[in-house]
Amino acid sequence: MAIFGGFFNLAKLKIIIPTYNYLNGFSKSIKQFSKQVNYDKNEVQLIVSDDSTNNDIYNHYHAQKSNFKNLIYRRGPQLGAVSNWNSSLEKVSSEYTMFLHHDEHVQSEYFLKEILQVLTETNTDFLVLPLIKSTKGRFNRHYPIYLKWIYIRFPTLLFICNAFGSPSLVIIRTTLMEKFDSSLKWYVDVDWYFRHLVKKPRVTLLNDPNLTVVSDLDFTGTITNKLDLKNLVSDEQNYISLKYNLPQYLFGSFLKLIRLPVKFFQVFNV
């Protein structure tokens, strides 16, 4: 493992940016962070966790690092996406930790300023950010905030429908942070949320446009786009059912029944 730009010193918020062979997405993420204004640079650290097969990400980091006080590059072994995420958590010592995948970026130049303020004022354990999905030049918001509150109250529902989005949409108190289950791929994010939420953390849901994360759905190299779902989903449902002693009907007709109103909320943005 190689680390450039400093060590993982204590900060209020560490933002881990896992990258793999996607320079365009990484450069957009870094560009948005370079535009951030009016925030305490000592309170934030950006950690690029790169397991690419080429040096494109590192070369861009090297060209941009002089524009940042708080940008660190970490080159890890090519262990796969989930193992890269877990490996990047091992030396994090900040009060809060956030992931931001290379096909996502923050929307507002005030993101860091406002998120630091929210974390200080709420003293939350588990913070959920608003999500906008970008595809073919169109932008659509994800599930409404009141639906997310239901899923927080009944986290088992997350296995039926992921109302949060990717792990980039949550900021978690580092001392409570769980590692990802590397046995999972399709359900890896909701399993991660579930394990946090069953511990009854202090949860904060946000709907502020300045704290929105944008997910680029046009990028075809995501972990989910590369999966063969024919048998994977069924295998992982069986695994989850055994892991948490959940009834099999949760993934059967009950799943289809619950997804109908959820899909209505998403399509009509109500």
| CB 238, CB 184: distance < 8 Å | no
The 10s digit of each residue's pLDDT in 62-81 is 999 988 888 999 887 777 88
Instruction: Domain 2-268: give its CATH code.
Output: 3.90.550.10
pTM: 0.87
The mean pLDDT value for 234-249 works out to: 89
Enter the tokens of residue 107.
């929307």
Q: Is the pLDDT of residue 266 over 70?
A: no
**What is the dihedral angle through the alpha carbons of 229, 230, 232, 234, rounded to the nearest 10 degrees?**
120
| CB 176, CB 196: distance < 8 Å | yes
Amino acid at 107: Q
**pLDDT value, residue 264:** 54
Contacts of 90 (CB under 8 A, 6+ apart): none
Quickly state the pLDDT bin for 222 (edges 50, 70, 90). Answer: low
The mean pLDDT value for 114-121 works out to: 97
The 10s digit of each residue's pLDDT in 182-216 is 999 999 999 999 999 999 999 999 999 899 999 88
CA-CA-CA-CA torsion sign (139, 140, 146, 150)? negative
Quote the CA–CA distance of 57 and 152 in Å, as a whole number. Answer: 36
Q: Parallel, antiparallel, or unpaired: how do β-strands 170-173 and 96-99 relate? A: antiparallel
pLDDT above 90 coverage of the chain, percent: 58
Quote the CA–CA distance of 58 and 147 in Å, as a whole number. Answer: 40
**pLDDT value, residue 6:** 45
**pLDDT value, residue 4:** 41
Quote the CA–CA distance of 185 and 187 in Å, as a whole number. Answer: 6
Q: Which residue has the higher pLDDT, 134 or 160?
A: 160
Quote the CA–CA distance of 128 and 209 in Å, as a whole number. Answer: 13
CA-wise closest residue to 128 among 155, 103, 102, 109:
155
Per-chain mean pLDDT for the chain: 85
Q: Where are the domains of the chain?
A: 2-268
Q: Which residue has the higher pLDDT, 124 or 8?
A: 124
